[in-house]
Amino acid sequence: MSRDVLLEVKNISLSFGGVKALRDISFDILEGEIRAIIGPNGAGKSSMLNVINGFYHPQEGEVWFDGRLRGPMPSHEVARLGIARTFQNIALFKGMSTLDNLMSGRLINMKCNMFWQGLWRGPAEREEMEHREKVEEIIDFLKIQSIRKTPVGRLPYGLQKRVELGRALAAESKLLLLDEPMAGMNLEEKEDMCRFILDVNDEFGTTIALIEHDMGVVMDISHRVVVLDYGKKLADGTPDEVRSDQRVIDAYLGVAHE
Amino acid sequence: MHDTFPKYLLWNAERFPERPAIREKDLGIWQAWTWKEMKDEIVALASGLATLGFRRGDKLAIIGANRPRLYWGMAAAQCLGGIPVPIYADSVVAEMRYVLEHAGVGFVLAEDQEQVDKIMEIQADNETIRHVIYDDSRGLRDYPHNGLHDFQEIQAAGREHAGRNPEFLPGEINQGSGSDVGIFLYTSGTTGNPKGVVLTNDNVLITSKNSARQDNLTEREEVLSYLPLAWVGDHIFSYGQAYVTGFCINCPESDTTVANDLREIGPTFYFAPPRIFENLLTTVMIRIEDAGAVKRNLFQTFMAVAKKTGIAILNGDPVPLRDRLMYKIGEVLIYGPLKNTMGFSRIRVAYTAGEAIGPEIFDFFRSLGINIKQLYGQTEAAVFVTAQPDGEVYADTVGVPSPEVEVRITDDGEVIYRSPGVFQCYYRNEEATRETKNAQGWVMTGDAGYFDGNGHLKIIDRAKDVGKLQDGALFAPKYIENKLKFFPQIQEVVAFGANREYVSVMVNIDLDAVGNWAERNNLPYASYQELAGHSSVYDMILKNIIQVNQDLAADQALSGSQIRKFLILHKELDADDGELTRTRKVRRRIIADKYRELIDALYSDAESCHVVTEVTFEDGRKGTIEADLRIVQTTPFAPLKKAG
């Protein structure tokens, strides 16, 4: 399996004042793979995602995306480069319908200016129809037809998570970052979400980096796993390699103190 | 003479080339195929099946939701003289394996990955299933491809085949005749393994023709096809009658959007089991309670008007002008908008069957001016045994014998019938066939009933379910259950009492209705179990039971079967756990067995009972839930004395 490297982080260090969130972390994400970042609470998983996403600017280290070194830039520019994400604590527009939330994910792909949008004739109308079709495909894909017109705030948690995944998908990004996509879900919802993640990867060929707490789930669906603990990289490899790594076992289960 | 479905298909493509035959909502837009287009699709599929080696007498299992391609699969198999075997899409692997093996299925048309996964599990130790065709390719890209085919791939092969041998398929279609077996329909059955009901083309076509004529169905009807393909009702209403009359069927976008799709389509002919009407009424009531005071009062005022005059107007009975005027105003303000919301604005004829419908539910819809009627049918009869003609509709009867159907009552009070729709046999089950159908073609229904003064058939209960209490009082469980199920907060009820001292019931609350009520009353709950065990929920159900007891006390025959004790179950009765059939009928024997300790507690002095229950998750895994259930006692009313 020879795949190109889509994203590489080199020697990343990030600190907030005296707190060192990440220390000298390096790993890469290959095109088309599902890459998991796991670790106990406070290990620096979300910080890592925020670095990739351009929300945090690390004091040291480099982020290479799509073969180019990425300088510090605001997150919306990063999004334009082709990185979409979801959030640990759902960040949708609660008062808007599912459909509108997904359409908002298409915003970065819309080309018409405000004048045409306001006039709502010709190119703007055509463009909206193209985007709507793409969004309808995602609605079909995620099986959320029944909530198309429902305000997101009224949906149960599991469905909101799914809508958020849909919005990230709508951006048609190269890299999809999922921050604890299965947190707070019951078993059936988790299984559904796993299926969707695998299908996204399979069907659209989207590269996925996901953070997850639930070890079992991660091991089942990801190709490679990187393990963080206290801001340091503990292990990196296939699920089987990571599972049998003594340091990982210690970090997760704890070690007996003499 | 058009005596098979493929022959009807060719004819319809000629007589209605441009009329829509089937629609499906895809990517949010309704897509239509005309009869001519549908014929081309089916011909391509049938020819493709032939290239896979599908021969006369082969069986094609059809598993999935109501998708145009699955309906096409039925006709395609019949083109080649094969037999479609629709299977309930929500069957678990074991149920599906039973049907596939029992019917000797060699070919499968599956909707999606979910179904393909189940079939591959079965294929591991089943050699007869040779080819599996799937409709939706999602997630199936990396599956091994021997014997697994994309629907379009098969059609493409079929088109090529038909191009080379243009005479092949018409020849195959010509070989078919009315006496050929047209379909196997497996009945879910409340006991034991499902039985494969064998129906010929004549069985389905003649019954469809007769019933369509009775209700004046034409090619202009619109029908929403949302009921399971494997159920005889869907086979008649979405397939048989559609081919015979040429009307258009509409496939919903997904099983969760049915209510919305119903509204968009606005069917003119509609069938639903009583449960759906119950749920609809529950939803309406919930939303009215949530509405503002003005709307709520308007609703209540005009529903009272409708209750008084609506049914009489629908039946064409004389009604005073003042009432007629009030009803007209109600139509503008309340009934019209309400019917529009429910998708019933254009309904000419609606049927309900399968279970007894609560008279209050029935009257609610009729009073709105919706011509909902009851029919009594069975898979073994290709549905129609009796049906209510327009203008002769009563809540407590199931109508008069349908055209060409003879109905009699045996000396034991059991209903039996004979008709052109009567099934040939249960597939590979001679014993059961002999028990059900005698040499003269009469079929035992297993239902107890009688003809009332108007010549209408009245069904009391399953013959074997009607019983007596210890003191000899009549006990008809379904009658009591239906009375309770009318309350929107009650989803399901199981009544016990045969050969017991008194009647007791186990109740399932309706999570939507009670959950909504709990939200409005600031009652926090985390699960069905917690809500069901809440004391104020118990109080609410107690009030319902007292009301039912009051009604029962007024009924001379049934005053002895008032409810003395009840409990609210900690889990919803579920088909996955075998407690309901796939058509959601209560399986008494299994419930009585599974909840034995609860039933024992209902007939002891216990005030609560600890219970551990096994549950099956959707993926087939099993778990257990535990609960302490409260048992509540009620005091019965004294039976009303006969006046004078």
Q: How many CB atoms lie within 10 A of CB A221?
A: 18
Beta strands in B18-106, from DSSP E residues, in sequence order: 20-26, 29-34, 59-63, 83-87
CA distance B554 to B414: 27
Which residue in chain B is spatially nearest to A191 when comparing CA positions? Answer: B619
* Contact yes or no for B617 and A188 at CB 8 A: yes
Q: Does A108 touch chain B (CB under 8 A)?
A: no
pLDDT band at A96 (very low <50, low <70, confident <90, very high): very high
Is A37 part of a structural domain of the chain?
yes
- Residue A37 sits in the same domain as residue A144: no
> Would A90 be classed as within a structural domain?
no
Give the angle B53-B57-B63 at the CA atoms, nearest 5°.
Answer: 80
Q: Average pLDDT in the B196-208 region? A: 97
pLDDT value at residue A225: 93
Say whether residue B175 is in contact with chain A using an 8 A CB cutoff: no
- Do A253 and A183 share a structural domain? yes
Confirm or reject contact between B260 and chain A (CB < 8 A): yes
Cα–Cα dist A176/A79, whole Å: 10
In a shared domain, residues A11 and A51: yes
Task: Give the model's pLDDT for residue B643.
Answer: 43
Of A170, A201, A223, the position where a domain reaches its end is A170
- Considering only the beta carbons, identify the residue of B27, B141, B256 that sits closest to A133: B27
Please indicate if any CB of chain A lies within 8 Å of the CB of B167.
no
Best to test chain B binding among A99, A146, A192 (most B CBs inside 10 Å)? A146
Domain segments of chain B as ranges:
5-271, 274-421+432-462, 467-633
B274-421+432-462 maps to CATH 3.40.50.300:
no
Domain B467-633 has CATH 3.30.300.30: yes
State what percent of residues in chain B have pLDDT above 90: 68
Mean residue pLDDT across chain A: 88
- Chain A window 16-75: which residues touch B at a Cβ cutoff of 8 Å? none
> In the structure, what pLDDT confidence band is assigned to residue B449 with cuts at 50, 70 and 90?
confident
What is the average per-residue pLDDT within B490-502?
A: 92
Of B27, B254, B619, the CB nearest to A143: B254
Contact of B617 with chain A, judged by CB distance below 8 Å, is answered with yes
Q: Are residues A184 and A78 in the same domain?
A: yes
Please give the helix or strand (H or E) that residue B588 lies within, else none: helix B588-594
Residue B530, burial from CB neighbour count under 10 angstroms (0-12, 13-18, 19+): middle
Give the residue-averaged pLDDT of B389-414.
89
**How high is the pLDDT of residue B348?**
94
How close, in Å, is residue A207 to chain B by CA atoms?
16
B644 pLDDT tier (thresholds 50, 70, 90):
very low
Which residue of chain A comes nearest to B139, CA vs CA? A199
Measured CA distances, B523 to A155, A229, A256 (Å): 19, 42, 45
Question: 3-class DSSP state for residue B69?
Answer: helix
Pair (A166, A177) in one structural domain: no
Is the same domain home to A203 and A253? yes
Question: Across the interface, do A148 and B28 touch by the CB < 8 Å criterion?
Answer: yes
CB-based contacts of B192: which residues, under 8 Å, 6+ apart?
none
pLDDT at B278: 83
| B618 pLDDT more than 80 | no
CB contact under 8 A, A140 and B141: no
What mean pLDDT is reported for chain B?
91
Residue of B nearest to A134 (CA): B27
Confidence of residue B641 (pLDDT cuts 50, 70, 90): low
Choose among B27, B257, B619: nearest Cβ to A146: B257
Residue of B nearest to A147 (CA): B257
Cβ of residue B642 closer than 8 Å to a chain A Cβ: no
Least confident window among B101-105, B296-300, B485-489, B497-501: B485-489
Of the candidates B52, B249, B33, B32, the residue with the CA atom closest to the CA atom of residue B133: B52
Q: Does A238 touch chain B (CB under 8 A)?
A: no
Shortest alpha-carbon distance between residue A19 and chain B (Å): 38
- Overall domain count for chain A: 2
Is residue A203 domain-shared with residue A218, that is, in the same domain? yes
Do both A71 and A177 map to the same domain?
yes
* Rounded distance between C-alpha atoms, residue B438 and residue B422, angstroms: 11
Which residues of chain B neighbour A143 with C-beta distances below 8 Å? 254
Best of B24, B25, B26, B27 to disrupt the A interface by mutation (most A CBs within 10 Å)?
A: B27
Residue B640 is predicted with a pLDDT of 65
What values do phi and psi take at B97, rounded to 5? -60, -45
Please compute the mean of the pLDDT values over residues A194-211 and round it to a whole number: 91
Distance from CA of A44 to the nearest CA of B (A): 32
From chain A, pick out residues whose CB is under 8 angstroms from the CB of B257.
145-146
pLDDT of residue A1: 47
What range defines the domain where residue A201 resides? 1-82+173-258
Q: From the CA of B66, how many Å to the nearest CA of chain A?
A: 16
Helix ranges (DSSP H) in B427-579 = 430-436, 477-485, 511-520, 528-532, 535-554
Instruction: Reply yes or no on whether the pLDDT at A120 is more than 80.
Output: no
Above 80 in pLDDT, residue A257? no
Residue A91 lies in a domain: no
| Confidence (pLDDT) at B486 | 77
Chains A, B: CB pairs < 8 Å? 35
Q: Which of B141, B256, B619 is facing A146, going by the closest CB pair?
A: B256
Compute the average pLDDT of residues A118-146: 87
Last residue within a domain, chosen from A107, A142, A170: A170
Residue B620 touches chain A, beta carbons under 8 Å: no
Q: Which CATH architecture has domain B5-271?
A: 3-Layer(aba) Sandwich (3.40)
Choose the closest CB to A136 out of B27, B260, B617: B27
Give the ranges where B316-442 is alpha helix by DSSP (H).
321-330, 336-342, 359-367, 430-436
The answer to whether residue B458 scores a pLDDT higher than 50 is yes
Token pair belonging to B514? 């009670």
Closest B-chain CA to A138: B27
Statement to judge: residues A140 and A221 lie in one domain: no
Could you tell me if A56 and A109 lie in one domain?
no
Comparing CA positions, the residue from A79, A245, A71 lying closest to residue A168 is A79
Kindly state whether A146 is in contact with chain B, defined as any CB-CB distance less than 8 angstroms: yes
CB A176, CB A222: distance < 8 Å: no
Interfacial A residues in 160-199 facing B (CB < 8 Å): 187-188, 191, 195, 198-199
Write the DSSP string, B140-168: -TTS--TTEEEHHHHHHHHHHHHHH-TTH
B519 Cβ under 8 Å from any chain A Cβ: no
Residue A188 with chain B: CB contacts under 8 Å? 617-619
Residues from chain B contacting residue A187 (CB–CB below 8 Å): 617
CA gap B476, B178 in Å, rounded:
42
pLDDT (tens digit, 9 = 90+) per residue, B37-85?
999 999 999 999 999 999 999 999 999 999 999 999 999 999 999 999 9
Are residues A141 and B618, on separate chains, in Cβ contact within 8 Å? no
Chain B residue with minimum CA distance to A136: B27
Residue B16 DSSP class: S
Contact A202 B139 (CB under 8 A): yes
pLDDT in tens, B146-192: 899 999 999 999 999 999 999 999 999 999 999 999 999 998 765 67
Of A139, A140, A199, which has the smallest distance from its Cβ to B139's Cβ? A199
Which of chain B's residues have a Cβ under 8 Å away from the Cβ of A139? 27-28
Q: Which of A142, A170, A198 is the last residue of a domain?
A: A170
- What is the average pLDDT across B352-374? 88
Å from B547 to nearest chain A CA? 35
Note whether B472 contacts A: Cβ–Cβ < 8 A.
Answer: no
Query: B139 vs A188: CB contact, 8 Å cut-off?
Result: no
Q: Give me the helix-helix angle, B274-290 and B293-315, nearest 10°.
A: 150
For residue B616, give the chain A residue with the closest CA: A188
B257 in reach of chain A (CB within 8 A): yes
* pLDDT, position A177: 94
> Does A188 lie in the same domain as A162?
no
**A246 in a structural domain:** yes
Q: Is the pLDDT of residue B302 over 90?
A: yes
Rounded to an integer, what distance in angstroms lies between the CA atom of residue B332 and that of residue B328? 7
Name the residue facing A137 among B27, B253, B254 (closest C-beta): B27
Q: How do residues B227-236 score in pLDDT, each as one tens digit?
A: 999 999 999 9
ipTM attached to this prediction: 0.81
CATH number at residue A245: 3.40.50.300
Mean per-residue pLDDT, A25-39? 93
- B642 falls in which pLDDT band (50, 70, 90)? very low
The pLDDT tens digits of the residues spanning A57-86 come to: 999 999 999 888 988 888 888 888 899 999
pLDDT at A114 over 80: no
Mark whether A257 and A178 lie in a shared domain: yes
**pLDDT exceeds cutoff 60 at B269:** yes
pLDDT bracket for residue B145 (50, 70, 90): confident
Give pLDDT, residue A63: 92
Quick check: A258 pLDDT over 70? no
